[in-house]
Amino acid sequence: MRTWRWSLPIKVIIGENALKEVPSVLALLGAKNILVVTDEIVFEIVGKHLIEDLTRQRIKSHTVFVRNSSVQEYERIAAKALDLNVEATIGLGGGRSIDAAKYASYKTGKKFVSIPTSISHDGVASPTVSLKKPDKYPLSIMAKAPDAVIVDLNVVIKAPKRLLASGFADILGKIISTKDAMLAYNLGEEVSLTAIKLAETAANLLVEHVSEISGFGKKGVEILAEAAIMCGMATSINGNTQPVSGSEHLFSHALDIVSVGKKSLHGEQVGIGTILMAPLHRVSWRMIRRLLKKVNAPVTAEDIGATEEEVIKALTLAHKIRKRITILGSTGLTREAAERLAMLTKVIKPSK
């Protein structure tokens, strides 16, 4: 039997003006000297005010800008956290700033506070870090769950709608990943049923409240943030990403390898992966497509600037990406099956 170890945030704050509560959260964590990991743009818009606020509350803060998502860059930031002897790192911004701060706190054993300024994927509260190895190959590592998550709705509501739609698509993908995880469970793998249910609930929230979410107003962003945080917790509870990353993610990772011209975001690719995998799990691909269209997320190869050939290739390659039980099995899809699936779900155009 496996021993389960849940590491969850001790504080999650979602609300208008939630940034005002950063000093009290840092006090709760016993942090008086901190490192804010962010980028120049976010610093100008939110970071400056946050630091003024912290200074007023006698919290000493340092700022570092993340330049890229390479291992070396994340190591540089971890070294800085160590040098400055901070008690906590704050990830303020998009995925890269949050990941860099998470990595630094994991490497140095400091507290970590996640303050996303957008919800473009499910990683705002997850313990995983995505980074690029020197050979540019993407790598995902289990680091640590945030000690606190603070989502200021007044800030996130201003994020580009495209990013929020991408976050929606990434979370909607849990419809498939939880089915893949259940398949693994039924085949005897130790997957947390609680984690699966949590991820399923996150996806269901989006399905049931798509009309409130679609305009990405305050209520919509609030629901999206809650769903993203639930996904992060599901990963923490399970100790790996299995409940939140199944065949729909394998497709997205495979597309990253085969497609050179695409200009899509991670969540957008996962959304298309979700449409593609739906028929295999007897889920209505039309429903997934409709939900994605409702938030203006892409639904075809053309929408994301990938060629039809690349989509087919990614489908035949997906099962090889990582050793994980999914509906694709260990042999994956034949080229013919991949082509049929992509045409059936209208991801590529039917042949004349």
Rounded least distance, CB 120 to Zn ion, Å? 10
Rounded least distance, CB 121 to Zn ion, Å? 5
Q: Hunting for tokens 């930031």 — which residue is that?
A: 77
Residue 307's nearest CA partner among 254, 258, 252 is 258
Q: In sequence order, what are the residues at sequence separation of 6 or more whose Cβ sits closer than 8 angstroms to the Cβ of residue 307?
A: 259, 261, 301
Rounded least distance, CB 123 to Zn ion, Å? 7
Rounded least distance, CB 249 to Zn ion, Å? 6
Q: Which stretch binds Zn ion (CB under 5 A): 5-13, 163-171, 214-222, 339-347?
A: 163-171
Letters for 185-224 (x = contact with Zn ion by CB under 5 A, - = none) are: ----------------------------------------
- d(Cα 23, Cα 13) in Å, to the nearest integer? 13
Q: In the complex with Zn ion, which residue's Cβ is closer, 152 or 170?
A: 170
# of chain residues touching Zn ion (CB under 5 A): 1
**For residue 53, what are its two tokens?**
């606020």
HSE-up of 148 (CA within 13 Å, CB side)? 26
Q: Which stretch binds Zn ion (CB under 5 A): 61-69, 92-100, 164-172, 209-217?
A: 164-172
Rounded least distance, CB 272 to Zn ion, Å? 13
Task: Find the binding residues for Zn ion in span 54-83 (CB under 5 A).
Answer: none
Q: Which stretch binds Zn ion (CB under 5 A): 31-39, 168-176, 209-217, 300-308?
A: 168-176
Rounded least distance, CB 268 to Zn ion, Å? 11
Q: In the complex with Zn ion, which residue's Cβ is closer, 95 or 332?
A: 95
Residue 329's nearest CA partner among 316, 347, 342 is 316
- Residue 116 three-state SS: strand
- d(Cα 230, Cα 198) in Å, to the nearest integer? 6
Q: Show contacts of 52-60: CB within 8 Å, 24+ apart.
A: 53/19, 53/20, 53/22, 53/23, 54/22, 54/23, 54/26, 57/23, 58/32, 59/23, 59/26, 59/31, 59/32, 59/33, 59/34, 60/32, 60/33, 60/34
190 backbone dihedrals φ, ψ, rounded to 5°: -85, 95
Q: Which stretch binds Zn ion (CB under 5 A): 127-135, 166-174, 189-197, 216-224?
A: 166-174
Q: Which stretch binds Zn ion (CB under 5 A): 89-97, 139-147, 169-177, 329-337?
A: 169-177
Rounded least distance, CB 145 to Zn ion, Å? 16
Tell me which residue has its CB nearest to Zn ion: 170
Q: In the complex with Zn ion, which residue's Cβ is closer, 87 or 170?
A: 170
Q: Is 268 in the site for Zn ion (CB under 5 A)?
A: no
- d(Cα 343, Cα 311) in Å, to the nearest integer? 11
Of the candidate residues 99, 170, 248, 310, the single one contacting Zn ion (CB under 5 A): 170
- d(Cα 287, Cα 212) in Å, to the nearest integer? 17
Q: In the complex with Zn ion, which residue's Cβ is closer, 147 or 170?
A: 170
Maximal C-alpha separation, the chain: 69
Q: Which stretch binds Zn ion (CB under 5 A): 96-104, 167-175, 196-204, 312-320?
A: 167-175
Q: Which stretch binds Zn ion (CB under 5 A): 72-80, 162-170, 198-206, 215-223?
A: 162-170
Rounded least distance, CB 231 to Zn ion, Å? 8
Task: Find the binding residues for Zn ion in span 301-320 (CB under 5 A).
Answer: none
Q: DSSP label at 157?
A: T
Q: Hunting for tokens 């976050």 — which residue is that?
A: 167
- d(Cα 79, Cα 73) in Å, to the nearest integer? 10
Residue 244's nearest CA partner among 181, 169, 318, 317 is 181
Which residues would be at the binding site for Zn ion (CB under 5 A)?
Answer: 170
